[in-house]
């Protein structure tokens, strides 16, 4: 019998902004609000009294994941939800009078970016970002925070990645994320540009409402439902897993911090292997985890590891939630969600 760890609910995990700068905008645009991180970010901003214009192309009426993510936002005062595709919609009206734009919309998965879906990655991660940046600079929005990715570093050998390291993206997705952040920074570097940019390189984010394609979601649901989880490789690959409310805190801090035109890692600097994650899932659920081994997927790197010093210096940020505590909260959420769905 395995040692069981007790699940914690999200309310035990402190306020999303604890530990980070409490400065915040008055009116903000959040793109990707029907997504995992965007829905958490929008909720935290609303709870701090910020008016949020949330934009996403997924419609809650037609997409059950969007519906679940947006459900936490709809009764919040100050939330204006717009269903629109950033590739085609008029962007300027969305950004009118905004103090900050948080641009999180995009196509996120590493592995599906090979092959026919690449066009969608280019369109949503690069072309849509160009439209946002053009509108933001024309309207002189003071700050744009863009969601970049640890994947831009590529295969690193496991040593901590610094923002000044030479990026070597190892997947088509990572190439588009590097292009996305550099595109925003190129706009911001023009002498006549009044919009400053902070590009945040998020490191494998987890917590309640995590995307269903991601490993922690899959291993916890496999344990809860007695299903098999497929492990790509030998499980020794390591990730600098970062809890979603910590990511939200860094993101909000980036809107007002004196950190203009910079790139900042959002990861705590602690890495964990997938085999260790499987063990934590087993101990938290008290259930066996059935694993089927499959080949390593193209574009997956052996390790991600953040050097968090820039985030500490520019954002006064450090993470509060460790992997076990955060996985317990995610498990708690999954269990109650399953219960509600039954
Ligand atoms: P997600 O898929 O849950 O959310 C992204 C949202 O963007 C979706 O709801 C999608 O509908 C929306 N979107 C995509 N293209 C759009 C368009 N053209 N117009 C309007 N809406 C559009 O993904 P997530 O995990 O919440 O990731 C959010 C952002 O953070 C992404 O940019 C991703 O690349 C980045 N990121 C995520 C992680 C992670 O671990 N989840 C790590 C690093 C970077
Ligand atoms: C995650 C996000 O999905 C990306 O959007 C983000 O850009 C990236 O983090 C980042 O940090 O920048 P990834 O690290 O691949 O990407 O996160 P997972 O999808 O959770 O995969 C983690 C590891 O688990 C990978 O080695 C993957 O191959 C493995 N995995 C995933 C499995 O073995 N089985 C699965 O079913 C899913």
* pTM for the predicted model, two decimal places: 0.95
Residue 130 lies in a domain: yes
Task: Give the pLDDT of residue 337.
Answer: 84
Task: Give the pLDDT of residue 340.
Answer: 59
**CA nearest neighbour of 225 among 279, 278, 289, 294:** 289
199 lines ligand 1 (CB under 6 A): no
Distance 71 CA to ligand 1 centre (A): 17
Distance 300 CA to ligand 2 centre (A): 7
211 lines ligand 1 (CB under 6 A): yes
Atom of ligand 2 nearest to the CA of 237: 26
Residue 226 lies in a domain: no
Contact (CB, 8 A) for 288 and 78: no
C-beta neighbour count of 81 within 10 angstroms = 16
Q: Is 283 helix (H, G, I), strand (E, B) or coil?
A: helix
Task: Give the pLDDT of residue 339.
Answer: 55
CATH code, domain carrying 60: 3.40.50.720
Q: Which ligand is nearest to the CA of 211?
A: 1
Helices then strands (H, E): number in the chain?
11, 13
Distance 4 CA to ligand 1 centre (A): 33
Residue 65 lies in a domain: yes
Residue 118 lies in a domain: yes
Task: Give burial (CB, 10 Å; 0-12/13-18/19+) of 122.
Answer: middle
Task: Give the pLDDT of residue 104.
Answer: 99
Residues tagged active-site: 173
For residue 142, what are the CA distances in angstroms to 24, 182, 221, 332?
Answer: 12, 18, 42, 39
Q: Is 291 helix (H, G, I), strand (E, B) or coil?
A: strand
Task: Give the pLDDT of residue 20.
Answer: 38
Distance 156 CA to ligand 2 centre (A): 16
Strands 27-31 and 100-103: parallel
Tell whether the torsion through CA atoms of 97, 244, 67 and 111 is positive or negative: positive
Residue matched to tokens 């009078």: 97
Task: Give the pLDDT of residue 31.
Answer: 99
Contact (CB, 8 A) for 194 and 137: yes
Task: Give the pLDDT of residue 341.
Answer: 55
207 lines ligand 1 (CB under 6 A): no
Q: Which residues contact 158 (CB under 8 A, 6 or more apart)?
A: 238, 271, 302, 303, 305
Residue 132 lies in a domain: yes
Distance 106 CA to ligand 1 centre (A): 4
Domain carrying residue 21: 10-202+244-268+300-319
Contact (CB, 8 A) for 197 and 260: yes
Distance 193 CA to ligand 2 centre (A): 36
Residue 212 lies in a domain: no
150 lines ligand 2 (CB under 6 A): yes
Q: Which ligand is nearest to the CA of 121?
A: 1
Atom of ligand 2 nearest to the CA of 231: 33
230 lines ligand 2 (CB under 6 A): yes
Q: Which ligand is nearest to the CA of 227?
A: 2
242 lines ligand 2 (CB under 6 A): no
In the chain, the number of structural domains is 1
Between CA 11 and CA 239 the distance in angstroms is 25
Helix runs in the chain, H state only? 36-47, 64-71, 92-95, 118-121, 128-138, 172-188, 215-225, 244-256, 274-285, 309-315, 323-341
26 lines ligand 2 (CB under 6 A): no
Task: Please name every residue paired with 206 in a beta bridge, in sequence order, or none if there are none.
Answer: 243
Q: Which residues contact 103 (CB under 8 A, 6 or more apart)?
A: 31, 32, 129, 132, 144, 145, 146, 147, 184
Residue 294 lies in a domain: no
For residue 329, what are the CA distances in angstroms to 16, 158, 181, 242, 284?
Answer: 14, 28, 31, 13, 10
What is the chain's pLDDT, residue by residue, as a tens digit (342 residues)?
233 333 333 333 433 443 334 467 899 999 999 999 999 999 999 999 999 999 999 999 999 999 999 999 999 999 999 999 999 999 999 999 999 999 999 999 999 999 999 999 999 999 999 999 999 999 999 999 999 999 999 999 889 999 999 999 999 999 999 999 999 999 999 999 999 999 999 999 999 999 999 999 999 999 999 999 999 999 999 999 999 999 999 999 999 999 889 999 999 999 999 999 999 999 999 999 999 999 999 999 999 999 999 999 999 999 999 999 999 999 999 999 875 554
Task: Give the pLDDT of residue 198.
Answer: 98
Pocket test for ligand 1, best of 41, 64, 88, 105 (most atoms within 8 A of CB): 105
Four-CA torsion 330, 269, 28, 54, nearest 10 degrees:
-40
């Amino acid at each position: 019998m395995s040692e069981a760890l007790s699940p914690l609910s999200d309310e035990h995990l402190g306020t999303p902004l604890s530990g980070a700068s409490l400065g915040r905008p008055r009116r903000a645009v959040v793109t990707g609000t029907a997504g995992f991180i965007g829905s958490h970010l929008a909720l935290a901003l609303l709870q701090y009294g910020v008016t949020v214009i949330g934009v996403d192309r997924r419609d809650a009426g037609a997409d059950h994941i969007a519906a679940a993510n947006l459900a936490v936002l709809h009764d919040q005062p100050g939330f204006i939800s717009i269903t629109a595709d950033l590739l085609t919609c008029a962007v300027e009206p969305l950004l009118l009078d905004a103090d900050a734009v948080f641009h999180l919309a995009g196509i996120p998965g590493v592995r599906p970016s090979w092959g026919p879906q690449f066009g969608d990655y280019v369109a949503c991660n690069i072309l849509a970002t160009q439209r946002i940046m053009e509108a933001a600079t024309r309207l002189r929005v003071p700050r744009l925070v863009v969601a970049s990715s640890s994947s831009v570093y590529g295969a690193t050998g496991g040593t901590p990645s610094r923002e000044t390291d030479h990026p070597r993206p190892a997947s088509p997705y990572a190439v588009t994320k590097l292009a996305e952040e550099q595109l925003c920074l190129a706009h911001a570097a023009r002498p006549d540009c009044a919009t400053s940019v902070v590009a945040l390189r998020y490191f494998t984010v987890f917590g309640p409402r995590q995307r269903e394609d991601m490993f922690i979601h899959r291993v916890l649901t496999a344990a809860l439902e007695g299903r098999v989880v497929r492990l790509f490789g030998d499980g020794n690959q390591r990730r600098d897993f970062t809890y979603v409310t910590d990511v939200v805190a860094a993101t909000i801090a980036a809107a007002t911090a004196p950190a203009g035109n910079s790139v900042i890692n959002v990861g705590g600097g602690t890495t964990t292997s997938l085999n260790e994650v499987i063990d934590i899932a087993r101990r938290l659920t008290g259930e066996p985890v059935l694993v089927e081994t499959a080949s390593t997927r193209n574009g997956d790197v052996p390790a991600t590891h953040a050097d968090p010093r820039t985030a500490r210096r520019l954002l006064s940020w450090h993470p509060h939630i460790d992997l076990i505590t955060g996985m317990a909260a995610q498990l708690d959420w999954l269990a109650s969600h399953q219960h509600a769905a039954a």
